[in-house]
Structure 1
Amino acid sequence: MALPAPHLDDRRFQQFVDDAKRYIQQACPEWTDHNVSDPGVTLVEAVAHMADQLVYRLNRVPEKNHLAFLDLLGITLFPPAAAHADVTFRLSAPQAEPVLLPAGTEVSTGRTETEEAVVFATTDDLTVVPCELARFLRQPADATPEDRTQDVLGGSDVPAFSPLPAVGDLLLFGLSAAVPGCVLVLGLDSRVDGVGVDPRMPPLVWEAWTATDGWVGCEVDEDTTGGLNRPGEVVLHVPAGHAVSRLGRHEAGWVRCRIVPAAEGQPAYSESPTVRAASAFTIGGTVRAAHAETVRDESLGASEGVPGQRFRLSHAPVVNRPPMVLRIAEHTDGPGAGRQDGEAPGGAPAVDGDAETGWREWTLVPDFASSRPRDRHFTLDATTGEIAFGPSVRQPDGTLRQFGAVPSKGAAIHVARYGTGGGRAGNVARSAISVLRSSIPYIARVENREAARGGVDGETVEEARLRAPIALRAQERAVTARDYEELARRAAPEAARIACLAADAAEAGDNAVRVLVVPQAVPDRGGRLRFEQLVPGEELLGRVTDFLDERRPLGTRLAVGPPFYQGATVVATLHAFRAVKTEKVRSDALDALYAYLDPLTGGVHGEGWPFGRPLRAGEIFAALQRVPGVELVDEVLLHPADPLTGRRGEATDRIELGPSALLFPFDHHVRVIEAR
């Protein structure tokens, strides 16, 4: 931790005035009027004010030196990170032609009287591809596909699976075109023949064929067929890698329905459902959007033709989505900046009719350490929005070495595009993004099916001061548990919690380290977290693993993953005070339970439930007793639970947690007895 800077002089304005009045009594006793209306006192206060300003400036010297030392160490402020979310655009009706939504399409949350709208911009192009059903195949397990297209299109009844459906039976839909990232609607006219299954949770999964990963699961948005047992529609979100492939001598964009083993308590098919007719069309698409506003066509002025020039953007901080595009006007027939020996003139067409001038795009680099004198490189301080060009450094032999090219004198510097925004404000709840910033043909509405995540505020100077000693001690090496945690936070600043533990030697062997990552999650409306929100994505885990793998000691084995989430269900009985609404007490008690056991913000200190700390019934008694309107906490029972299956264990007064485990509040029950 950084040492506090001392105050070189702790006197303030009023102390200077009081000291001056005491000196007046000693040096000039005949001056007795010391009121603020006296002209002499006015002069004293003026001098005291100037002395106060001098002391303030003097006290800033240690702070300035501290910041100068941080700059020498290469400590810079981390810029804010932009939150991202998958945004789904819904068409007003199926279209016969593709609908294109270009990258940079802006959407936002709703604006209220107290909150401004949070703006998101799509990071990639989205094309909603129209399609229709071209092929309909059924394939029993371990058999060849049967083409039943003509039967279905002709209105004949076709069994979807084998007479006695088995695990692995397939129903395949061949689309006339691949629909990557689109919302696909399969219309099915089915009869109630699929006996045995629960229509609310049939043992079926929907998958689409992708060129890179083979069959990939589709998210089911809606299924009104009840497990293919009644006429209805199945709405699927097709993965972005969906591609055309050949199956059963037919080429199409394939989507399939597969029977999977029934879970415990889930009934299976005893007879096959029947399909009489089928159709397919797209009704929307999904694309990634980032919390950023796109700034276009900003002029930074003209170059002075000297090394180390700096220009500042008009909007800061800058986020990496969309990527920054910086162009500089160069003369194509002279020794323009950055031209390699023998390189042919290039760039964009001439500007304003000048055939000798063209725009050349420059490359953003993290630093100039490996930049050659003619490389068109620039750096960006994302926090302040400052752009810098390569410096010229004097070498030990007295020569000057240029790192990166220097824009020629008078060359216009133009930023075609960059994004600004970021911060925690972008971590909005699911379904919060619902406003189109501009009218888009054929688009009826927009929504985010999951909460936005990844938004992190920029680092403050105080936080950098605390980080500097740790960075100086670690020297980019992960040795201690604290080193692993701090370096992991650098790799993934959007993570909510990170912990480093020594892995079990019996399982992982000696010299094994385990890093636990808990992603940032935004509760749904009502303040409840869903279990799937606390599972970190592959991209986040891979980024942390790659960053730590380069800095771990040789021979140390590294494992990065989520903690083990131990579900905990509380069943409590409370007595309310007289004339208190029991439903209000029950609601407040449930909120208190979910808040106290929250893995991100729960616990005694509000920093999340500690890793490996057991839960005792006495803590729940204390938490419930603090709820307004509760007179007596009569009974508290704790049940270990599985958040995935929903199964609860036997009642106990203590739930033990392993060193790498974290509590997850799950399905609490509170009974409130009204006072008589």
Structure 2
Amino acid sequence: MPLVPPVPDRHRWPDLVEVARTPIPSVSPEWTDQNVSDPGIALLEAIAWQADADLYRAGRVTERHRLKLLALLGFRPRGPRAAHAVLTVRAAAGQTTLVPAGLGLTAARPGADPAQALGLTTLTPVRPTGRSLATVGVDLGSATATGYTTGWADHTADALTGTVHEALGPDPAPGAALVLGLDGALVAGAELSLHLALGPAGPDGSDGSDDEAAGPVHHDAAIVWEAYSGTVWQPLPDAAVADATRALTRAGTVRLTLAQGVPMAGLGPLPPRAWLRCRLDRGRHDIAPVIGRITVDAVPAEVSRPAVGLLAVARGVAPTGGTPQPGQVTRLALTTDEHGAVTALRLGGDEHAGPLVRILEWKAPQGADPGRLSLEAVVAGRGDGTPEQRFRVPVEGGGPVFTDTAEVWLCAPGPTAHRVTLVPDLDASGRTDPHAVLDPGTAELSFGDGRNGAVPENGTTVLVTCATSGAPGLAVGPATPVTLDAGVRNGALLGADPPEIAFSLAVPPSGAAAAEDSAAVAARVENVLWAHDRVRGALVEGRTTSLDDLDRTAVRRLPVPERAVTLGDFERIALAAPGTWVTRARAFAETDPRLPGCKAAGCVTVVVVPGLPASRPEPTPGLLRSVREVLDTRRTLGTRVFVTGPRYVDVSVAAAIAVVPDADPAATRQAVLRALDRFLHPLAGGTEGHGWRFGRDVHRAELLGVVDAVPGVAHVGALTMTTGPDRSSCVRIPVPPDAVVASGTHTVEVLPGGER
């Protein structure tokens, strides 16, 4: 029981004095004079006053203070991020019109509240072909040579339903291909847009490495797209292919420009189709790519709506630099009067002339009638020359403003334009710095006071281009209707005679993120700063010295340390190398692969194991280079890092078994062979099924147990295991510390006479 009673919730220094005086009789009975004249009481009052002041200040820590403290650690809040979706577009029969980017769409369930509709904006132009996917298959590498009678796996049903399947087969090698058959011929000059939903990345269902930090080119595998002319496969030139899938390792859109038409033709016994294929030309993947739904005539879209402004144009105003045209994208600067009417307008110029905006509508002023200008930009207000000016950006929807893509410009009469830099706060801004703060939640734009941040001069127009999201919590699916928005925005893009087009949702929106507050930033900081301790804690809890001995899914959930200090740090960083998939990683201290058996001070060797080839995984030179580059940036000073592949110890087994009377001898024999291959597999073997541990010896007794546990085996009559070129038989096969076992050639003999 504490000697000091709890402090009242509402702190005042007299209450703190009373709290301090309460235990005096029990702690110091000789202290009887407790009047205010006593020096001890006076000291307690001074301490209580100081404590009360500290508690007051501690209770006044604001959100801004927390964010500033986190910024000192190098972490600033991230702005909101828009969700992305994939649409399909269909045009009326016979139309080959180009559907422009920037169209506004609405996705809403029937009968739903209009305020809960989801606003979408298309990101790329597309010319719909009107074709559909009719056949999807995988050429395992020999289908072309055999006329598609063997070496062919049909995955049409999987592709149409979105079921994940292997894109290039279970163990792809150069020559393997993903083959797509469309239900109609493609004319010369056609532009085909495909979206490939690739994933999940890993065989255990978890995500792979940091995809955002990886570049657009795979570190080793290279693919080519080809079209079937009716007799031969013809590769498409690089200029005709825009592939965002990084050799089929991440979801993305593929745009193919077909200079020559693709006729309907048959492939061996396959029905006539317009055939395209994605073939592995050289190199190798880390694991076998998997793919889900394939969308034809795909249009990437973002869950966002650009801010649109409608401005009156004062009488007598004539634009300079050209006449605005609906649908035109141009640099623009303008000024307005106190009533919001445009008093000066300039088009064109370089990147310093104003924001890049799309003109939606233009009506020149006629006589006494004012004109009208509609554009994808809004006027937030006019500067008045006073400090700390605040403006409310007029956006619709109620969702957050995407500050990462927003632009703010100050336009002075003339007009001349100056871009404003958006910053998290103005604390470090100088008196002449054109800085401002845009709050993503309230859409409030804040300028400086002349000491921290420049003040907008009197008469300047604040021009803003930005986008906002709709209803981020709305759940939609492939059956949700998608309609074109009515208004000047789509009218300007589609023209006076819009084509008959229809959109449908192929891949529902995903990837949205709200703006971070101090709690979210603090959680991110904690995840980074405590990454090393969490890796170490996992090793202590697992009673091991290597992450390779733990469950792979649990290991991949651990944060990635920023600095490689321990061997566990090296292993976790190697597993998360951007753009790669390392299935296993084992680090060894004081080891130099060039000096086997010698102690190399200051050296760390990391052995990485990918997922391919399936029976004997070996890292490619590109994978080794990628992992080494990442580890080299995170190693401690003075440490030399080497990255290599594993050494293998081949183990072959010869066994004689007796089967139970009702078992099929041939099937039982095959089951024994599969059990031996699985137990001795470097990725799925071992007693726990996580792969054979590095440096773990192979014992004959374990193999006897594996064979005996196969259903249908009555008993094992004999079993020998061999390794090495001399094929010597032994009861224990030693495995070096940096090596794992691989399954060799096994022979299984079924003894006559059944069970004994």
What's the TM-score once normalised by structure 1's chain length? 0.40
- TM-score computed with the length of structure 2 as normaliser: 0.36
